[in-house]
């Protein structure tokens, strides 16, 4: 199907006319004549030097006025956010989602704004008055006291749809606000902070793997890295050496992980406040008190040939069974999965089955034998999916089933995309990714194939597997 350009988009072709050339030539001659007259007046006139000095003074005054005007009215807003504060989680999460669309004329717009004010009586009142003059309604307000004095005030605002962010930033600056940061908000931000904190605590209490995601939702747009206590070679990891009380360094906070190692949270565009640091520590202390935990629900599936398998969440208790499955897998299968020396495969299992690096699904037979693992891994700001199927159980639809469930979990976590690293010869993984029915991007890097699937909110319903039989464990 061919696409046609709209009338406004079509290129316009204008006929070239000789009269335009004549007019342009006449204008050029006039400009030369005026310039020659001014030069003769300066050189031969009685007041030539005076005219030059006056012209120079006029130019200096004009430049000074322009500089003053630019400083007075040049309050450029910070860069707009590309992801709502509610998205994602630990590193995965995501490729940031698109910012909310601009509202239609006459409609209102939601903004999140944070600014620092002096800790003096009337400072907050002056800021609220300045916003009211601009026709802005304050929906919620949080205050974050600073140890060096002053407070960081965080607002959820409803502003007229036609009001640009620069005007909001300028209003805050005129009222004494500094280091102002602003981004678009959406309906998720209308939930009051106590309710949001309770919801995050509940999610964390039900599943240890939720802690990085809950921290992401608590702190907004940030990157979370889990640092293991030891390296793959078994040596202590110096980056995981964090005091029990944690460390707050402006845009970086480092916290001790209750399951071992450390959790590093980075937010370069906005420094953390002591209040946010205390909230993050409280969530981690809750996780430490509850100990290891994973949802025990499971699905029983019937394969096309009639065999039944059980799909459930996996954790560290499956380490021995996973190593036994490694022993039954061929070198080619392990090589396609781990992209490295096959002898090192067992070293990755502690990392893969840990609750801080993602979520893992296990497929077992009726006798309890582990035959497949599916991983959803937080990788900085991105999310990786990976599969390992025991050789004799391949080509039976198990990988596709696990992959659909992993994608549904990624959507629930707020991920914008997932990627798989494989080789073009791994036709099973390529077919499973294509079977998702999602937009795919292919990229070849040093002989390795990277397939990225872009997710949408509606993907969750489309990828949630419908088990033929279900049982609660």
* Model confidence band, residue 461 (pLDDT cutoffs 50, 70, 90): very low
* CATH code at position 185: 3.30.70.260
Indicate if 350 and 436 belong to the same structural domain.
yes
Residue 10 lies in a domain: no
- Per-residue pLDDT, 29: 64
Total domains present in the chain = 3
Residue 43 lies in a domain: no
Residues 357, 443: contact at Cβ < 8 Å? no
Output phi, psi for 329, to 5 deg. -85, 150
- Per-residue pLDDT, 189: 81
Going by C-alpha positions, the residue among 303, 264, 296, 302 that lies closest to residue 280 is 264
List, as one string, the DSSP characters of 337-369: HHSS-GGGGGGGHHHHHSTTSEEEEEEEETT--
What 8-state DSSP symbol labels residue 80? P
Going by C-alpha positions, the residue among 414, 405, 362 that lies closest to residue 383 is 414
pTM value surpassing 0.95: no
- Per-residue pLDDT, 471: 33
Indicate if 322 and 210 belong to the same structural domain.
no
Q: 458 versus 383: which is more confidently predicted? A: 383
Indicate if 236 and 343 belong to the same structural domain.
no
Both tokens of 110, joined, read: 């939601």
Q: How many CA atoms lie within 13 A of 424 on its CB side?
A: 6
Both tokens of 427, joined, read: 């036709």
- Per-residue pLDDT, 246: 93
Where among 261, 290, 319 does a domain terminate? Answer: 290
Going by C-alpha positions, the residue among 159, 28, 43 that lies closest to residue 103 is 159
What 8-state DSSP symbol labels residue 95? S
Indicate if 130 and 212 belong to the same structural domain.
no
- Per-residue pLDDT, 208: 87
The secondary structure element, H or E, covering residue 262 is strand 262-266
Both tokens of 467, joined, read: 């088990």
* Model confidence band, residue 28 (pLDDT cutoffs 50, 70, 90): low
Residue 414 lies in a domain: yes
- Listed in sequence order, the residues at least 6 apart from 229 whose beta carbon sits closer than 8 Å to its beta carbon are 236, 237, 240, 260, 261
Where among 189, 211, 240 does a domain terminate? Answer: 189
| Residue whose pair of structure tokens reads 């033929």 in the numeric block | 468
Query: What is the average per-residue pLDDT within 239-254?
Result: 91
Indicate if 328 and 436 belong to the same structural domain.
yes
Indicate if 218 and 304 belong to the same structural domain.
no
Indicate if 431 and 309 belong to the same structural domain.
yes
Query: What is the average per-residue pLDDT within 418-426?
Result: 89
Indicate if 313 and 454 belong to the same structural domain.
yes
Residue 309 lies in a domain: yes
* CATH code at position 374: 3.40.630.30
Query: What is the average per-residue pLDDT within 116-145?
Result: 91
Residue 9 has pLDDT above 90, yes or no: no
Indicate if 185 and 198 belong to the same structural domain.
no
Output phi, psi for 159, to 5 deg. -120, 160
| Residue whose pair of structure tokens reads 């669309």 in the numeric block | 101
Residue 247 has pLDDT above 60, yes or no: yes
Indicate if 252 and 366 belong to the same structural domain.
no
Indicate if 391 and 303 belong to the same structural domain.
yes
Residue 87 lies in a domain: no
Residue 425 lies in a domain: yes
- Per-residue pLDDT, 296: 83
Q: How many CB atoms are closer than 10 A to CB 72?
A: 9
Of 72-86, 208-222, 333-347, which gets the smallest average pLDDT?
72-86
- Listed in sequence order, the residues at least 6 apart from 201 whose beta carbon sits closer than 8 Å to its beta carbon are 214, 283, 286
What is the C-alpha R_g of the chain? 31
Q: How many CB atoms are closer than 10 A to CB 110?
A: 18
pLDDT in tens, 176-235: 999 999 999 888 788 888 888 899 999 899 888 888 888 988 888 888 888 888 876 778
Rounded to the nearest integer, the mean pLDDT of the chain is 79
Exposed e or buried b per residue across 159-184, where buried means at least 16 C-beta atoms within 10 angstroms of its C-beta:
bbeebebebbbbbbeebbbeebbbbb
- Listed in sequence order, the residues at least 6 apart from 149 whose beta carbon sits closer than 8 Å to its beta carbon are 118, 119
Residue 472 has pLDDT above 90, yes or no: no
Q: 416 versus 460: which is more confidently predicted? A: 416
Domain that holds residue 388: 298-471
Residue 467 lies in a domain: yes
Alpha helices in 347-469, H assignment, sequence order: 349-353, 398-412, 427-434, 459-463
Residue 131 lies in a domain: yes
Q: First-to-last CA distance in the chain? A: 52
pLDDT in tens, 365-416: 999 999 999 999 987 678 899 999 999 999 999 999 999 999 999 998 888 8
Where among 270, 290, 310 does a domain terminate? Answer: 290
CA 459 to chain CA centroid, Å, is 18
Going by C-alpha positions, the residue among 252, 245, 241, 244 that lies closest to residue 219 is 252
Q: 378 versus 267: which is more confidently predicted? A: 267
Indicate if 330 and 465 belong to the same structural domain.
yes
């Amino acid at each position: 199907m061919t696409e046609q350009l709209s009338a406004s988009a079509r290129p316009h072709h204008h006929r070239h006319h000789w009269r335009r050339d004549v007019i342009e030539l006449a204008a050029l001659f006039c400009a030369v004549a005026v310039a020659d007259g001014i030069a003769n007046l300066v050189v031969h006139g009685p007041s030539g030097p005076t005219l030059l000095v006056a012209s120079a003074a006029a130019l200096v005054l004009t430049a000074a006025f322009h500089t003053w005007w630019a400083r007075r009215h040049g309050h450029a807003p910070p860069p707009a956010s590309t992801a709502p504060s509610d998205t994602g989680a630990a590193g995965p999460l995501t490729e940031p989602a698109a910012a909310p669309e601009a509202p239609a004329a006459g409609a209102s717009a939601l903004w999140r704004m944070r600014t620092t004010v002096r800790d003096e009586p009337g400072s907050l009142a002056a800021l609220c008055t300045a916003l009211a003059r601009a026709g802005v309604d304050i929906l919620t307000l949080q205050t974050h006291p600073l140890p060096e004095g002053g407070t960081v005030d965080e607002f959820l605002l409803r502003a007229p749809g036609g009001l640009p962010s620069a005007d909001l930033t300028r209003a805050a600056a005129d009222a004494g606000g500094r280091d102002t940061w602003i981004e678009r908000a959406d309906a998720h931000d209308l939930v009051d902070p106590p309710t949001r904190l309770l919801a995050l605590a509940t999610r964390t209490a039900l599943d240890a793997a939720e802690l990085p995601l809950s921290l992401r939702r608590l702190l907004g747009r940030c990157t979370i890295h889990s640092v293991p206590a030891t390296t793959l070679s078994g040596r202590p990891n110096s980056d995981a050496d964090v005091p029990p009380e944690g460390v707050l360094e402006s845009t970086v906070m480092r916290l001790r992980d209750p399951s071992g190692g450390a959790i590093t949270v980075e937010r370069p565009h906005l420094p953390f406040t002591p209040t946010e640091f205390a909230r993050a520590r409280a969530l981690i202390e809750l996780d430490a008190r509850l100990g290891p935990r994973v949802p025990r629900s499971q699905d029983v599936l019937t394969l096309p040939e009639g065999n039944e398998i059980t799909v459930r969440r996996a954790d560290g208790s499956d380490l021995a069974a996973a190593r036994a499955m490694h022993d039954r897998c061929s070198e080619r299968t392990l090589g396609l999965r781990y992209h490295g020396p096959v002898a090192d495969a067992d070293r990755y299992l502690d990392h893969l089955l840990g609750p801080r690096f993602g979520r893992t699904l296990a497929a077992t037979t009726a006798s309890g034998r582990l035959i497949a693992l599916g991983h959803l891994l937080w990788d900085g700001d991105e999310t990786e999916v990976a599969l390992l199927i025991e050789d004799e159980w391949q080509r039976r639809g198990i990988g596709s089933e696990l992959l659909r469930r992993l994608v549904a979990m990624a959507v629930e976590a707020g991920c914008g995309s997932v990627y798989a690293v494989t080789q073009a010869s791994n036709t099973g993984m390529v077919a499973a990714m294509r079977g998702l029915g999602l937009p795919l991007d292919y990229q070849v890097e040093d002989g390795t194939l990277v397939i990225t699937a872009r997710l949408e909110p509606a993907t969750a319903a489309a990828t949630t597997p419908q088990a033929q039989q279900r049982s609660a464990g």
